[in-house]
Amino acid sequence: MIYNNLTAIAEKFDIFIFDAYGVFWEGNGFYAGSREVMADLIKQGKTVAIVSNSSAISDDLRISYQKRGLIYGEHYNYLISSGDLLLHHLRISDIRFEKCENPLKYYVIGKPHSKAFIGTKYQQVETLNNADFVYIGVPYVYADTIKKYPQSADYFWPVRLDENGNICEWDTLTAEPFNDIVQQTVDLNLPVLNANPDFTAKEGHHLVPNSNAVFVVRNGMIAQMFRNLGAEVLEYGKPHKNIYDFVFAKLLSDGISIDKNRTCMIGDTVRTDIKGGINAGITPILCIETGVTAEDIHGGQSVENLCAKENIDVKQIIQIKSVGGK
């Protein structure tokens, strides 16, 4: 059975864990009715937690969402990111690789969030040869890459302007520009750290007039490139159990009892959200008309096939059209 919206099954649960992109946020705005449903859950006394596979710190995400109209206390009780989880482990020096038990120096691919390593012992270096490990930042591309791949110009979407009004950062719809740095890292036998397992994110781009949100490459896709070449990858976030343990510990510390039979994970991606919910022992709820799964279905995939790829029995999940669907 496919339910029209989350409200239709809300009575079954006390704790609602929401993914963000593809669930209530579309890239350029909120999906119709999603905020209203979240607000109604709060009014009913439910616990609403947003758990994001973002390497950003949740304090920054909270400010960003508030500017867009998603308000702490009105639409959600908790906002926790995989970046929070990583920073916690970095601050207690709990980062260890099989190939390097006491890493200290890191090289960044892409753009790191400014607070990713704040208050930790870890030091950024400018060359791979001086690094103990590689950290995957947001995979933006820069002017030198744009010049190197003129044939891919249509795959680069501007993100930010410098002080002179020139484009200085681009999103990319292709992972090709990262082939060289990935190979160089593997050749040096360096391990890799990642705090965003998502392969893509649907982003709007305000510097492209009248554009729709598009799926752009995110950290998880670069991490998969490393895995495909045999590199050691240490990863935080959905679908890994580590992010759920972190969330549950936070709720318990605030006196919220957790009955996993009455806790659900609402997401749009089988590989991360749904598999993550199953790994955590809670009920996975899949949105099939928004986000990644909607695109997969539009491309000819079925929910059964998507689940089979992750060794999930489709009977383990609840399907809804969307959070606020009618």
Q: What is the pTM of this model?
A: 0.92
Which structure tokens are listed for 187? 């050749």
Mean per-residue pLDDT, 109-138: 93
Q: All domains of the chain, ordered by start, with CATH?
A: 2-84+239-320 (3.40.50.1000), 96-235 (3.40.50.1000)
Per-residue pLDDT of 280-305, as tens digits, reads 999 999 999 999 999 999 999 999 99
Band of residue 99 on the pLDDT scale cut at 50, 70, 90? confident
Whether the CB-CB separation of 19 and 54 falls below 8 Å is answered with no
Secondary structure of residue 157 in the 3-state scheme: strand
Per-residue pLDDT of 234-281, as tens digits, reads 999 999 999 999 999 999 999 999 999 999 999 999 999 999 999 999
Band of residue 326 on the pLDDT scale cut at 50, 70, 90? low
SS3 content of the chain, % helix, strand, coil (to 5): 35, 25, 40
Q: What is the mean pLDDT of the chain?
A: 95
Number of Cβ within 10 Å of residue 251's Cβ equals: 19
